[in-house]
């Protein structure tokens, strides 16, 4: 279905946003630059839904439900701390919307196992999770792109602010939508990824992606002491032994993060590094200061919510109620299209 044919009208811009995070840990600066900054900006322009994807988190944490549960409130507090406004954005819990699980079942007929196995993000993640899955991955994990298609379409969302790792998943969702529409009629909308300036933030260890489950992240809630420890142990140019050796900022994680947190100074920092005029310790200290200052207001706002767990709970409950209503509207249309509306006339 083309956007202009959208029969549901949402706010002045007539399109909806759906995005979310897995409660597998607190949110980090990869989320911040990759997705959260866009969410905060876009919530002023579009009706926004933010999912706490606890069901998806269980696909690779099924043996640790406590971890998933405990991280739900952490994720919500992180969102609120960076400026997600509960009056503008609807924050909701995936497991409380059974329509998402139902849609997942319907869509699972529309995607082949081979296609899921070829999904590059799923492939990378399975390789990273060999310890958990051994030689054979679970049906649930292999199928999480299908449940993600259900998340998006349950709310008829078309704008999906994400990091680069999500592109193959959005593509897979688009394929499912096209297949559904071609069989059952033009019901679903094709979503598009909304990538920010920083689509993939690297990890402290030099890994191409900072990830909650990869142990290489600076969290938005980290204290100055923790930031210090992490930056001090970040990967730098291994060829640089002495302070006056010329350094290579292109292979230094400290220089990489200066690009994000020290925009005005980064040019000078890199020139001095290349000329052997700036030692790694001074460079790291400056980064620690800049990250700490940047995150201070976020930590302060987070602290406000940490002291008020009942407010956080209320926001999540209200958001879930609203999301539930919306998902029911989509489900009625989907069931009608799929001839599953048996007792409608009764």
Q: How many CB atoms lie within 10 A of CB 154?
A: 29
Q: Helix and strand tally (H, E) in the chain?
A: 16, 5
Residue 166 sits in the site that holds ligand ATP (CB under 6 A): yes
Nearer to ligand ATP, 107 or 256 (CB): 256
Q: Report whether 231 contacts 310 (CB < 8 A).
A: no
Nearer to ligand ATP, 208 or 244 (CB): 208
Nearer to ligand ATP, 145 or 163 (CB): 163
Place of tokens 């060829």: 239
- Does residue 21 belong to the site contacting ligand ATP (CB under 6 A)? yes
Cβ-based nearer residue to ligand ATP, 99 or 165:
165
Per rule CB under 6 A, is residue 15 in the interface with ligand ATP?
Answer: no
> Among the candidate windows 160-168, 229-237, 270-278, 292-300, which touches ligand ATP by CB under 6 A?
160-168
Q: How far is the CB of 284 from ligand ATP (least distance, A)?
A: 21
Strand partners, 192: 159
Nearer to ligand ATP, 17 or 96 (CB): 17
Whole-angstrom Cα distance, residue 8 to residue 134?
45
Instruction: Provide the residue count of the chain.
Output: 346
Q: Which of 15, 16, 17, 24 binds ligand ATP (CB under 6 A)?
A: 24
Binding segment for ligand ATP (CB under 6 A), chosen from 76-84, 163-171, 280-288, 305-313, is 163-171
Among positions 111, 201, 252, 327, the unique one binding ligand ATP when judged by CB under 6 A: 201
What are the C-alpha distances in Å from 159 to residues 55, 63, 103?
A: 22, 33, 19
Q: Phi and psi (nearest 5°) for 108?
A: -65, -15
CA distances from 211 to 21, 24, 31, 125, 144 (A): 11, 10, 9, 11, 18
Residues lying near ligand ATP in the complex (CB under 6 A): 21-22, 24, 30-31, 34-35, 162-163, 165-166, 200-201, 209-214
């Amino acid at each position: 279905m083309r956007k202009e044919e959208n029969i549901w009208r949402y706010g002045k811009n007539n399109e909806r946003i759906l995005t979310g995070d897995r409660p597998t840990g607190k949110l980090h600066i990869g989320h911040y630059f990759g997705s959260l900054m866009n969410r905060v900006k876009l919530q002023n322009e579009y009706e926004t839904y933010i999912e706490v994807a606890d069901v998806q988190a269980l696909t690779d944490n099924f043996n640790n439900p406590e971890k998933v549960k405990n991280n739900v409130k952490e994720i919500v507090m992180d969102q609120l701390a960076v400026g997600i406004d509960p009056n503008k954005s609807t924050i909701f819990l995936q497991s409380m919307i059974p329509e998402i699980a139902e849609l997942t079942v319907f869509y699972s007929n529309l995607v082949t196992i081979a296609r899921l196995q070829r999904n590059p993000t799923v492939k990378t993640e399975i390789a990273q999770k060999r310890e958990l899955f051994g030689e054979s991955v679970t049906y649930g994990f292999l199928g999480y792109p299908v449940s993600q298609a259900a998340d998006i379409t349950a709310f008829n969302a078309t704008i999906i602010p994400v990091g680069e790792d999500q592109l193959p998943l959005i593509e897979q969702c688009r394929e499912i939508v096209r297949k559904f529409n071609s069989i059952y009629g033009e019901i679903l909308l094709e979503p598009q990824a909304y990538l920010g300036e920083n689509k993939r933030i690297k990890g402290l260890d030099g890994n191409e992606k900072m990830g909650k489950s990869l142990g290489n992240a600076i969290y938005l809630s980290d204290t100055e002491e923790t930031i210090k420890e992490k930056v001090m142990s970040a990967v730098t140019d291994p060829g640089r032994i002495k302070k006056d050796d010329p350094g290579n900022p292109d292979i230094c994680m400290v220089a990489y993060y200066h690009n994000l947190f020290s925009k005005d100074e980064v040019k000078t920092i890199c020139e001095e590094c290349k000329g052997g005029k700036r030692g790694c310790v001074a460079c790291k200290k400056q980064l620690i200061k800049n990250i700490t200052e940047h995150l201070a207001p976020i930590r302060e706002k987070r602290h406000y919510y940490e002291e008020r767990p009942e407010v956080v709970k209320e926001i999540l409950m209200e958001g879930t109620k609203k999301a539930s209503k919306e998902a029911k509207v989509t489900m009625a249309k989907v069931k009608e299209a799929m001839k599953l509306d048996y007792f409608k006339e009764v």
